[in-house]
Chain A
Amino acid sequence: MVTKLKEVDVVIVGLGWTGGILAKELTEAGLKVVALERGAQRTSENDYSLPNIRDELRYVVRHDLMQNTARDTITVRNNPQQESLPMRRLGSFLPGEVVGGSGVHWSGHTWRWTDMEFKIRSNYEERYGRKSLPDDMTIQDWGISYAELEPYYDKFEYTAAVSGKAGNIGGQIRAGGNPFEAPRARDYPLPPLTPILASEMFTNAARDAGYHPFPRPSANASQPYTNPDGSKFGGCQYCGYCQRFGCEANAKGSPHMTVIPIAMRSPNFELRTNSWVTKVLKDSDGKRVTGVTYTNVLNGEEFEQPATIVLLCAYAINNVHLMLLSGIGTPYDPVAQNGVIGKNYCYQTGAGATLFFEGKYFNPFMNAGGSNATIDDFNSNWAFDRAPHDFVGGYVVAGGFNTPLPIGYRPVPSGTPQWGSEWKRATAKWYQTAMVINASGSVMANRYNCYDLDPTYRNAFGQPLMRMTFDYKDNEHKMGGHAAQTINTIAKSMNPTRLNPASARTDPWTVVPYQSTHNTGGTIMGTNPRDSALNKYLQSWDCHNLFVIGANVFPHNSAYNPTGPVGALAYWTADAIKNRYLKNPGPLVQA
């Protein structure tokens, strides 16, 4: 028995950054909006507060803010020949499940992806020739330009309190910022965070090596701040509990303390938590969607929520899953290479070194999501010639710390025993006197890296799990080798007492340990319905009143973290709905 509810203007599936932004923008435009969030309501005051939020076991190890794989997960395999098996617990990536979504537990790194990504195929073909790209590398242009997105990046940065230093304002290169970034209209809303010793040492070494280090732009307010919507931020406390945790200082830009409370003050908005959407419903001719069905997970009751517009704003993986479960668009077939839903799943790659400096106190527990320094010389720097190295894409390198809490981080030089007095002595000696240099690398789309529905395993609602087929290809291995070399050159120039050098990964992608919650693709945006699921406004080519927002729209993955363009595209889509779609409901781009 499904209870059919009264129709609303807009139903939003998932209330994180994208759902929150659209909820705020569309309620302000006068639309009646209902948001369905599978997680619970939690607040900074009541949940992310001292001392309980400082609990590595609960939040990092036991995944308190994350999705529960007992209820729904994916199955995984490295290639189509392998039998896919369920990811029985989280590991490699950590999607959030709470009001605010992954926007609660992110670190805040906020990048502007440029035309290097948006016009990737055109760029490489123009410079290196058509034949330079491997046949199975299914990268394609996104159908959008940096110039179109610039005002929306700006809007997101000012909403989320991004601290950083501009490197390029209106084409003028600024000292101390990223000289390779695309031109921006104005600087970040806040100056960079105070650098920690490790990032200073990395900065000096990278500069001496001829690179262009700069403080990593992050939504960690470097000082108290009120954003243009009136949301109030405290200054970052460098507490070290950033990634995986909600911020008790409200210094980390998060949807639960910005856009969501604003939407919630509107009489046009209703939030239903513990509401698990199982399907998007299509009308009889399949040209429109009519709403969604969902289950109240507190009692199992099922509802149909009719809506004029449906917005999928869940985590990237879940958006694709819902599209496949709902039969919207043609599922992608990697053999025949037709269909689009599930196509171009991408991830990220990386390499890292640990540097040990006897007697130097880094105090790794004093840091913020944005207190590392970064170089972009091998990513957005198009002058870096990829031809001699034979890879497409790039990587950024950063020096400092990432969640250096003691259950997960106790660096010791290679060859140290894993237990006993010698191990304890090494742990005691090096915890405070080591630092890390890491690279984060892009992953190019590949024909065989994709999603579809698993034939065997089901979730708690009796629906097929989604199947992820993914592995790194030669391109990523070559890039990883280059990144490791860059890291090691910088690391050695710093003369550490001991060095655990970086090495390129050559083993298959694995579901453990944690790597990156930057899963992209599956319902990609593009210029035509033959090779993409959505047009440049993230509107479904098949059903014009369905928009799908999130990193699932990226046709490939860059070295940068995804939240910058995810936030910008949410504002971009909100504007397209408000200013264009409402006036004339229908396809915003003619196929």
Chain B
Amino acid sequence: MKEQREDQGKDQAKDQGFDRRDFLKTAFVGGAAAAGGTAGITTPEIAQAQHPAVPAAAAGYAFLNLDEAAFVEALVDHMIPADEISPKGTDLGVNIYIDRALAGAWGKGERLYMQGPWKLGAPSQGYQLPLTPAQLYRAGIEATNAHCRKAYGKTFDRIEEAQRQQVLIGLSTGKIAFDSGLPVRVFWTTLYQTVIEGMYSDPIYGGNRNKAGWAIIGFPGVIAVHRDDVEKYRGKPFPNKPVGIADMS
């Protein structure tokens, strides 16, 4: 019930052209101005006290700023809409997965050879940008939003579903070219891969909440043994009760 109410609140806020991001930005300015007099009261506390219907991000963000969070939430809910197959992307925690991945070692470029000189190279030579995945994400969101503003007058999270669809098609086919010079295909590949990871990696990483991603396809997860199942379930559906690492720890 609670979730439903929060969703309604969010939709309502969006209808009014005023969402959580606007509110937090305003609150932050207000908070800063009043900092001397309201020590001890944090911005989220103010937000929750004054606008209980506006949802907080499920578990808070470690990397994404407000614009980026709005982009990622809109992206994952568009790519993974709620339907008879699964809850929507944010309910699967895909946005949280992405935030944690970008905030963590992978996002900071762990295992990435980061010495120059830097050349674009041929596609067959793979990733050649002087950016960590987190920097790439940040630059890519900014460039996509710049494209959306130019094409539709609003950022990605505020345009219509049909327009979002057009943008994603443009990104995935390389038909959109970023003014910033960022190679669109490289951004799209990373974006897409992280959405998939958020749907299908173990829930310990923040996505695939309640193993609802695995449930889409009937993947059993951290199964211990299949030795007897090979014969028993040959050609038959395997009872799908996915198990995650946390369930066995």
Knowing A52-B245, A55-B202, the reply to whether A88 touches B110 (Cβ < 8 A) is no
A194 at the interface (CB under 8 A from B): yes
Flag if A431 contacts B235 (CB, 8 Å). no
Residues of B within 8 A of A237 (CB): 224-227
Flag if A419 contacts B200 (CB, 8 Å). no
Q: Tell me which of B11-19, B139-147, B213-221 binds A.
A: B213-221
B residues 80-115 touching A (CB-CB < 8 Å)? 80-81, 83, 85-86, 106, 109-115
Knowing A51-B222, A70-B113, A88-B127, the reply to whether A420 touches B202 (Cβ < 8 A) is no
Whose C-beta in chain B lies nearest to the C-beta of A509?
B124
B2 at the interface (CB under 8 A from A): no
Residues of A within 8 A of B124 (CB): 76, 78, 507-511
B53 at the interface (CB under 8 A from A): no
Q: Which of A55, A68, A365 contacts B223 (CB 8 A)?
A: A365
Flag if B217 contacts A511 (CB, 8 Å). no
Q: Which of B111, B196, B237 contacts A70 (CB 8 A)?
A: B111
Flag if A366 contacts B219 (CB, 8 Å). no
Range of interface residues on B (Cβ < 8 Å)? 35 or more
Q: Which of A235, A406, A421, A508 contacts B83 (CB 8 A)?
A: A421
In whole Å, how far is A223's beta carbon from the nearest beta carbon of chain B? 10
Knowing A89-B126, A366-B233, A431-B217, the reply to whether A83 touches B121 (Cβ < 8 A) is yes
Complexed CA–CA distance, A355 and B222 (Å): 26
Flag if A406 contacts B226 (CB, 8 Å). no
A residues 112-140 touching B (CB-CB < 8 Å)? none
Flag if B217 contacts A418 (CB, 8 Å). no
Flag if B126 contacts A510 (CB, 8 Å). yes
B3 at the interface (CB under 8 A from A): no
Complexed CA–CA distance, A182 and B147 (Å): 62
In whole Å, how far is A163's beta carbon from the nearest beta carbon of chain B? 13
Flag if B122 contacts A508 (CB, 8 Å). yes
Flag if A69 contacts B218 (CB, 8 Å). no
A42 at the interface (CB under 8 A from B): no
A48 at the interface (CB under 8 A from B): no
Complexed CA–CA distance, A77 and B243 (Å): 43
A63, A85, A91, A418, most chain B CB atoms within 10 A: A85
In whole Å, how far is A539's beta carbon from the nearest beta carbon of chain B? 34
Complexed CA–CA distance, A474 and B122 (Å): 21
Whose C-beta in chain B lies nearest to the C-beta of A366?
B226
Complexed CA–CA distance, A90 and B110 (Å): 12
Whose C-beta in chain B lies nearest to the C-beta of A193?
B230
Flag if A457 contacts B85 (CB, 8 Å). no
A502 at the interface (CB under 8 A from B): no
Residues of A within 8 A of B235 (CB): 197, 360-362
B236 at the interface (CB under 8 A from A): yes
A395 at the interface (CB under 8 A from B): no
A-B pair number, CB within 8 angstroms: 182
In whole Å, how far is A537's beta carbon from the nearest beta carbon of chain B? 36
Knowing A69-B113, A509-B124, the reply to whether A194 touches B231 (Cβ < 8 A) is yes
Q: Which of A88, A432, A510, A512 contacts B217 (CB 8 A)?
A: A432
Knowing A54-B223, A361-B233, the reply to whether A76 touches B238 (Cβ < 8 A) is no
B205 at the interface (CB under 8 A from A): yes
Complexed CA–CA distance, A411 and B222 (Å): 21
A265 at the interface (CB under 8 A from B): no
Q: Tell me which of A422-430, A486-494, A550-558 binds B.
A: A422-430
Flag if A62 contacts B249 (CB, 8 Å). no
Flag if A61 contacts B197 (CB, 8 Å). yes
Over the window 211-231 of chain A, the binary record of Cβ atoms lying under 8 Å from chain B Cβ atoms (1 yes, 0 no) is 000000000000000000000
In whole Å, how far is B128's beta carbon from the nearest beta carbon of chain A? 6
Flag if B126 contacts A511 (CB, 8 Å). yes
Residues of B within 8 A of A86 (CB): 113, 115
Whose C-beta in chain A lies nearest to the C-beta of B237?
A361
A580 at the interface (CB under 8 A from B): no
Flag if B227 contacts A238 (CB, 8 Å). yes
In whole Å, how far is A512's beta carbon from the nearest beta carbon of chain B? 5
B201 at the interface (CB under 8 A from A): yes
B117 at the interface (CB under 8 A from A): yes
Q: Which of A54, A76, A366, A511 contacts B230 (CB 8 A)?
A: A366
Flag if B112 contacts A89 (CB, 8 Å). yes
Flag if A89 contacts B111 (CB, 8 Å). yes
A82 at the interface (CB under 8 A from B): yes
Complexed CA–CA distance, A331 and B192 (Å): 43
Complexed CA–CA distance, A431 and B216 (Å): 9
B79 at the interface (CB under 8 A from A): yes
In whole Å, how far is A515's beta carbon from the nearest beta carbon of chain B? 12
Complexed CA–CA distance, A432 and B238 (Å): 10
Flag if A458 contacts B113 (CB, 8 Å). no
Residues of A within 8 A of B247 (CB): 51
Knowing A51-B248, A88-B112, the reply to whether A427 touches B216 (Cβ < 8 A) is yes
Complexed CA–CA distance, A457 and B165 (Å): 41
B10 at the interface (CB under 8 A from A): no
Whose C-beta in chain A lies nearest to the C-beta of B189?
A512
Residues of A within 8 A of B123 (CB): 510
Complexed CA–CA distance, A511 and B168 (Å): 26
In whole Å, how far is B92's beta carbon from the nearest beta carbon of chain A? 11
Complexed CA–CA distance, A431 and B237 (Å): 12
Flag if A82 contacts B122 (CB, 8 Å). yes
In whole Å, how far is B207's beta carbon from the nearest beta carbon of chain A? 9
Knowing A70-B114, A407-B197, A424-B86, the reply to whether A50 touches B248 (Cβ < 8 A) is yes
Complexed CA–CA distance, A83 and B245 (Å): 45
B residues 119-174 touching A (CB-CB < 8 Å)? 119, 121-128, 165, 168, 172
Over the window 32-45 of chain A, the binary record of Cβ atoms lying under 8 Å from chain B Cβ atoms (1 yes, 0 no) is 00000000000000
Flag if A51 contacts B249 (CB, 8 Å). yes
Chain A residues within 8 Å of B, Cβ to Cβ = 50-52, 54-57, 61-63, 68-70, 73, 76-78, 82-83, 85-91, 194, 196-197, 235-240, 360-363, 365-366, 371, 405-407, 410, 418-421, 424-425, 427-428, 431-432, 456-458, 507-512
- 29 A-B pairs with C-beta separation under 8 A: A51-B222, A51-B245, A52-B245, A54-B202, A55-B201, A57-B202, A63-B111, A69-B111, A69-B112, A70-B110, A78-B122, A89-B111, A90-B111, A196-B230, A197-B234, A237-B224, A238-B226, A365-B220, A366-B226, A407-B197, A419-B168, A421-B83, A424-B80, A424-B83, A427-B216, A427-B217, A428-B216, A508-B124, A510-B125
The 5 closest A-B pairs by CB, nearest first: A51-B248, A431-B217, A419-B79, A510-B124, A511-B126
